[in-house]
């Protein structure tokens, strides 16, 4: 019959109110929101982490942080309207208020990758959780060997952050390669899946760290291609997606083998999950 | 009680004897101290835990017969108050209730405010907590209180709870706590522990305290010293119960075999029988999974978030954009069994099974966790050697 927990351990299930400061449309069904807290400062976050975002009366979903971790003025989230809750969040007007809990989860090992070649491989909306890592890497690119961003989308109209991809691609310290599954007349770039880009860029496989985010099938094929190219399994890091309700390891929904994706992940090491990643419906 | 104390022998007082009136005095004392006293009662052909104020509410003279997919109450030859094994419910439904309002949000001109739901007022006293159930509570303590984030509602209910344990006097055909190392003796984690001693000459309860609160309460009850004969009789009760266990689960190497065999043909075989009804997860005293639902009133001025028990057997449990991760019944049963008996050890340092046998008795098709685990364990799988995949 001990004392009540201290206020610092206050209810982790309680969302705090955050105001939508700005909305940018990325594609037909994807928007990026800048959120500012009503009652506190903007907490630190590590690239790869996510927040639980609540739309009043509709529900709550996990959304990765997609902004620059060095920018402490707001949280940036990139959301695709796929269900009721994400549609309500993506439809939030500037000035409206959303609930927010977080940040939660593991991070991309950006600092540990210093001194290595770095491959950042994204599929579809998977570029959003990787963008904070790209910002941090490009802010001090001299710490790394060769840096490459490989990105694939269904079609040109579904690609995220195209202006930024062009800016990054113009830099001397980073290689950017973009591919689409289905081209349209406007597209003059690669056509095909992301793993096919791996052979087209120069890197030193034994000395490479890879960060992967995208649909699970893309993660599997990309990790397999990287292993075949000679990248060590323990240097391949994947961001996994599972159903999440609590984000604090208590609701059980996000289990992936012994891991709770919400707190052991979302960023997991390939050598530790490769066997179960190959099993259907784990 | 210290909810986070690891299992281990608590400092126990010398045993004393309570008669039936003395046990009623215990209930009265708990009620007088403001506890919401919960104990076994008879309802709908089953023994269920509910609020009690009088020992007359207890299922005197009843016992249970349990087998795979079967639970029946029968009359005993005596008037024992605790002469049965465990019923469908566990204490989980009080410490980790099936439905709990987390908070309420109220719409305002400029956004909304969120207010947490206050915790329920009266602390619980549980009468008749079996050894397997003490272990189940200790396991849920590790889940809800032992990690980086605590469940504040569980913490509040757990901190105030007073546990009166009961050394089992009868084992069901579905019981296998002895093989799990979780019973039948209540060894720690209780405030008081009782052993029911009943024969033609007596009806007494051998009592020991396991906490200061328990010792303080015992001191005000009408007890008499327990001599060596009573202590020996209590030992005999436990020995008889242990010998009466209907089932056994060999856990030696089981974790590794389960984690190495996700494609074992037995998963397909059990999936052909499993109805994915979720009964096993609902009756399990350690299954802790929940979902949340959001509700608004008709005017949209107030929204509430409610947490509810969920089950890994439901189709939407693993739903993400594109469909359920675990669409097949095979994958859901595999998830449940592998989590319970293997991943749980990686996550929380112990098995998630306490050998209470509820999932066996309350499975409508009689799937037996001990038989399924033994079938997987019988076949060595390729060693995958995976632990947790954390990024550290």
B24 at A interface, C-beta within 8 A: no
What's the mean pLDDT in B376-387? 65
Beta carbons of B288 and A252 less than 8 angstroms apart? yes
Most B CBs within 10 A among A55, A251, A268, hence the mutation to make, goes to: A251
What's the mean pLDDT in B58-85? 98
What's the mean pLDDT in B4-11? 44
B 219-238 near A (Cβ less than 8 A):
none
C-alpha–C-alpha distance, residues A77 and A195, integer Å:
26
Instruction: Kindly tell me if the per-residue pLDDT of B391 is higher than 60.
Output: no
B103 at A interface, C-beta within 8 A: yes
pLDDT in tens, B259-301: 999 999 999 999 999 999 999 999 999 999 999 999 999 999 9
Contact B388 A264 (CB under 8 A): yes
For A279, other C-beta atoms within 10 Å of its C-beta total 13
Q: What is the mean pLDDT of chain B?
A: 93
C-alpha–C-alpha distance, residues A167 and A90, integer Å:
26
Shortest Cα–Cα distance, B110 to chain A (Å) = 8
Most B CBs within 10 A among A20, A92, A250, A254, hence the mutation to make, goes to: A250
Listed in order, the ranges of chain A carrying CATH 3.40.50.80 are 111-277
The rounded percent of chain A whose pLDDT value lies above 90 is: 95
pLDDT band at B2 (very low <50, low <70, confident <90, very high): very low
CATH number of A7-104: 2.40.30.10
pLDDT band at A101 (very low <50, low <70, confident <90, very high): very high
According to the 3-state scheme, what is the secondary structure of chain B?
A: CCCCCCCCCCCCCCCEEEEHHHHHHHHHHHHHCCCEEEEEEEECCEEEEEECCCHHHCCCCEEEEEECCEEEEEECCCCCCCCCCCCCCCCHHHHCCCEEEEEEEEEECCEEEEEECCCCCCCEEEEEECHHHHHHHHHHHHHHHCCCCCCHHHHHHHHHCEEEEEECCCCCCCCCHHHHCCCCCCCCCCCEEEEEEEECCEEEEEEEECCHHHHHHHHCCCCEECCHHHHHHHHHHHHHHHHCCCCCCCCCCHHHHHHHCCCCHHHHHHHCCCCCCCHHHHHCCCCCCEEEEEEECCCCCEEEEEEEECCCCCCCCCEECCEECCCCHHHHHHHHHHHHHHHHHHHHCCCCCCCCCHHHHCCCCCCCHHHHHHHHHCCCCCCCCCCCCCCC
Instruction: Kindly tell me if the per-residue pLDDT of B193 is higher than 90.
Output: yes
pLDDT in tens, A191-250: 999 999 999 999 999 999 999 999 999 999 999 999 999 999 999 999 999 999 999 999
pLDDT for position B389:
58
Listed in order, the ranges of chain A carrying CATH 2.40.30.10 are 7-104
Contact A253 B317 (CB under 8 A): yes
Structure letter (DSSP) for residue A34: E
Shortest Cα–Cα distance, B81 to chain A (Å) = 29
**Token pair in block for residue B162:** 């007073």
Instruction: Kindly tell me if the per-residue pLDDT of B386 is higher than 80.
Output: no
B317 at A interface, C-beta within 8 A: yes
C-alpha–C-alpha distance, residues B230 and B225, integer Å:
9
pLDDT for position A11:
83
B288 chain-A contacts, CB cut-off 8 A? 250, 252
B294 at A interface, C-beta within 8 A: yes
ipTM attached to this prediction? 0.93
Instruction: Kindly tell me if the per-residue pLDDT of A5 is higher than 90.
Output: no
B346 chain-A contacts, CB cut-off 8 A? 258
A260 chain-B contacts, CB cut-off 8 A? 347
Sign of the dihedral defined by the CA atoms of residues A265, A270, A274, A280, in that order? positive
CATH code matching the domain that covers A111-277, chosen among 3.40.50.80, 3.40.190.80, 3.50.50.60, 3.40.50.300: 3.40.50.80
pLDDT band at B28 (very low <50, low <70, confident <90, very high): very high
B 112-171 near A (Cβ less than 8 A):
112-114, 116, 143-144, 147-152, 155-156, 159-160
Look at residue A8 and give its three-state secondary structure: helix
pLDDT for position B273:
98
Helix (H) or strand (E) holding A143: none
Contact A97 B112 (CB under 8 A): yes
> Closest-CA residue in chain A for B255?
A258
B101 at A interface, C-beta within 8 A: no
pLDDT in tens, A24-80: 999 999 999 999 999 889 999 999 999 999 999 999 999 999 999 999 999 999 999
C-alpha–C-alpha distance, residues B111 and A56, integer Å:
9
Beta carbons of A138 and A173 less than 8 angstroms apart? yes
pLDDT band at B380 (very low <50, low <70, confident <90, very high): low
């Amino acid at each position: 019959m001990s004392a009540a927990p201290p206020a610092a351990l206050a209810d982790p299930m309680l969302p705090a109110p955050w105001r939508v400061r700005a909305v940018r449309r990325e594609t037909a069904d994807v928007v990026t929101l800048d959120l500012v807290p009503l009652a506190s400062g903007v907490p630190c976050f590590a690239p790869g982490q996510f927040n639980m975002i609540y739309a009043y009366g509709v529900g709550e979903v996990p959304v990765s942080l997609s902004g620059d971790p060095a920018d402490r003025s707001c949280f940036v989230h990139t959301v695709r309207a796929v269900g009721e809750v994400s549609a309500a969040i993506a439809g939030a007007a500037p000035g409206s208020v959303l609930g927010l809990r977080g940040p939660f989860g593991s991070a991309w090992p950006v600092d540990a990758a210093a001194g290595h070649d770095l491959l950042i491989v994204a599929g579809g909306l998977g570029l959003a959780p990787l963008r904070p890592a790209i910002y941090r890497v490009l802010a001090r690119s001299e710490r790394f060997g060769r840096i490459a961003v490989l990105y694939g989308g269904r079609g040109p109209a579904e690609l995220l952050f195209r202006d930024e991809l062009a800016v990054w691609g113009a830099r001397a310290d980073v290689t950017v390669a973009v591919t689409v599954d289905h081209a349209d007349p406007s597209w003059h770039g690669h056509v095909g899946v992301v793993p096919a880009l791996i052979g087209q860029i120069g890197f030193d496989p034994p000395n490479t760290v890879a960060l992967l985010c995208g649909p699970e099938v893309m993660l599997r094929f990309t990790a397999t291609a990287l292993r075949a190219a000679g990248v060590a399994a323990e240097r391949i890091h994947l961001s996994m997606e599972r159903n999440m309700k609590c984000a604090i390891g208590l609701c059980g929904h996000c289990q992936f083998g012994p891991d709770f994706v919400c707190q052991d992940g979302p960023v997991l090491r390939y050598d530790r999950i490769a066997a179960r990643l190959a099993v259907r419906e784990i | 009680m210290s909810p986070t104390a690891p299992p281990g022998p608590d400092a126990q007082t010398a045993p004393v004897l309570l008669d039936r009136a003395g046990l009623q005095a215990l209930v009265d004392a708990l009620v007088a101290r403001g506890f919401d006293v919960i104990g076994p009662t008879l309802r709908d052909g089953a023994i269920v835990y509910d609020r009690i104020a009088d020992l007359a509410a207890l299922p005197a003279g009843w016992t249970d017969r349990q087998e795979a997919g079967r639970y029946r109450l029968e009359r005993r030859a005596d008037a024992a108050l605790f002469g049965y094994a465990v019923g469908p419910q566990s204490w989980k439904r009080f410490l980790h209730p099936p439905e709990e309002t987390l908070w309420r949000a109220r719409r305002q001109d400029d956004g909304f405010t969120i207010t947490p739901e206050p915790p329920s007022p009266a602390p619980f006293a549980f009468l008749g907590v079996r050894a397997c159930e003490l272990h189940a509570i200790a396991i849920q303590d590790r889940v809800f209180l032992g990690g980086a984030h605590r469940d504040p509602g569980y913490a509040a209910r757990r901190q105030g709870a007073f546990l009166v344990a009961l050394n089992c006097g009868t084992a069901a055909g579905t019981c296998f706590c002895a093989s799990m190392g979780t019973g039948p003796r209540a060894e720690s984690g209780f405030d008081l522990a009782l052993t029911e001693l009943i024969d033609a000459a007596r009806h007494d309860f051998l009592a020991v305290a396991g906490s200061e609160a328990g010792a303080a309460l015992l001191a005000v009850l009408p007890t008499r010293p327990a001599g060596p004969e009573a202590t020996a009789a209590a030992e005999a009760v436990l020995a008889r119960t242990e010998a009466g266990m209907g089932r056994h689960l060999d856990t030696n190497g089981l974790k590794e075999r389960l984690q190495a065999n996700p494609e074992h043909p037995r998963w397909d075989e059990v999936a052909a029988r499993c109805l994915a009804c979720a009964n096993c997860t609902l009756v399990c005293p350690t299954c802790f999974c929940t979902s949340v639902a959001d509700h608004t009133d008709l005017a949209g001025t107030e929204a509430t978030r409610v947490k509810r028990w969920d089950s890994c057997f439901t189709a939407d449990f693993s739903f993400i954009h594109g469909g359920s991760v675990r669409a097949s019944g095979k994958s859901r049963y595999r998830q449940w069994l592998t989590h319970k008996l293997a991943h749980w050890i990686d996550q929380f340092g112990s098995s998630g099974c306490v050998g209470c046998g509820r999932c066996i008795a309350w499975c409508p098709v009689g799937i037996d966790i001990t038989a399924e685990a033994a079938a997987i364990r019988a076949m060595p799988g390729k060693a995958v050697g995976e632990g947790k995949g954390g990024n550290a």
